[in-house]
Amino acid sequence: MELYDAIFYRKTIKNYSNKKIKQPLLEEIKSLCGNITYLDNDLNIKAHLIERGHLVHFSIGKESVVKAPHYILITSNKGDDCLQNVGFVMEELILELTCLGIGTTWLECKLNREDIKEFVQLDEMDNKDLEDIVKEEDESEVENPVSLLAIGYPDEYDSLFRKSKKSYDRKKIKDICKKFDSKWYEVFEGVRVAPSVKNLQPWTFKEQEYGFDLYEYIPKKRYNIEIENKISMGAALKHFDLCCKDKNIEVEYVKKDISSRGKGKKEYFISIVEKS
């Protein structure tokens, strides 16, 4: 299975088998974690494979709604569009794991820096005077947990793939982008099925001469998931990116000076420029 196909057939796993992933495959997953790519090179995003899942269970405690044999923890320093970049990384890992026959669940990250020191090798920042950095209120270089993936094999009552690529409860394409050339149709079909918390699908595209501007729709009703919504934006952009590659459409991502539309409306994220 290719990443493009995984976009349409991957599903969230609700229940995991106790069966552990064998070491050669864990090494392959570790290699994937070590070769992540994202949009802003000024950020320092890392993906950490946690082989001993019980360590995560112990740290989260009773709030752990999903228990898997292994996890991937994504950490990052602070910076512009940090959460969207994390979503961009996370979704590619999810699709890569799907292609390897591994199930995934995106979980709210309830871990803090102190929680993970026992089982995650953090930046060398720990060897510096971190207290001075915090006193100066400059934590831009400090690596913190941002997103958590449960990974493993589905139990006997669950399945790894969707039965049909049409079995989605999602917005219609016209609700994602009102106007676009027909060559983008299959790209937006891939964006349409991107995962999002509470299935809010907060992305909306506006056609421009150079391509598209991508906005996050900010709902009037607050769900206390502002962080997860921005991570969802990155996941949708990863779907857009992979679909463009499959259709041989070359694009680049540029941050333009575009003002947002205010709360309860739209917030500008990034522009997609088609290469000539």
- Domain range list for the chain: 3-152, 173-274
So what's the pLDDT on residue 95?
Answer: 97
Q: Can you tell me the distance from the alpha carbon of 108 to that of 26, in angstroms, rounded to the nearest whole number?
A: 23
Task: Please provide the DSSP assignment of 66-77 as one string.
Answer: ---SEEEEEEE-
Q: Can you tell me the distance from the alpha carbon of 147 to that of 18, in angstroms, rounded to the nearest whole number?
A: 22
So what's the pLDDT on residue 10?
Answer: 93
Residue ranges of alpha helices (H) inside 10-167 are 23-33, 53-60, 82-99, 113-116, 130-135
173-274 shares the fold of 3-152: yes
Structure token digits, residue 26? 């864990």
So what's the pLDDT on residue 129?
Answer: 53
Q: Can you tell me the distance from the alpha carbon of 105 to that of 46, in angstroms, rounded to the nearest whole number?
A: 18
Task: Give me the residues of the chain with pLDDT under 50, please.
Answer: 126-127, 133, 135-137
So what's the pLDDT on residue 126?
Answer: 47
Judged on CB neighbours under 10 Å (0-12, 13-18, 19+), 201 is buried
Is the Cβ–Cβ distance between 251 and 218 less than 8 Å? no
The backbone torsions φ and ψ at residue 146, rounded to the nearest 5 degrees and listed phi first, read -125, -45
Residues 6+ apart with CB under 8 A from 242: 3, 4, 7, 92, 95, 190
177-204 pLDDT, tens per residue? 999 999 999 999 999 999 998 888 999 9
CA angle 246, 251, 253 (to 5 degrees): 125
Structure token digits, residue 62? 């009773």
Class of domain 3-152: alpha beta
Judged on CB neighbours under 10 Å (0-12, 13-18, 19+), 8 is middle
Q: Can you tell me the distance from the alpha carbon of 141 to that of 123, in angstroms, rounded to the nearest whole number?
A: 9
Beta bridge partners of 154: 16
Nearest-CA neighbor of 21 among 93, 55, 70? 70
**Which CATH architecture is the domain 173-274 placed in?**
3-Layer(aba) Sandwich (3.40)
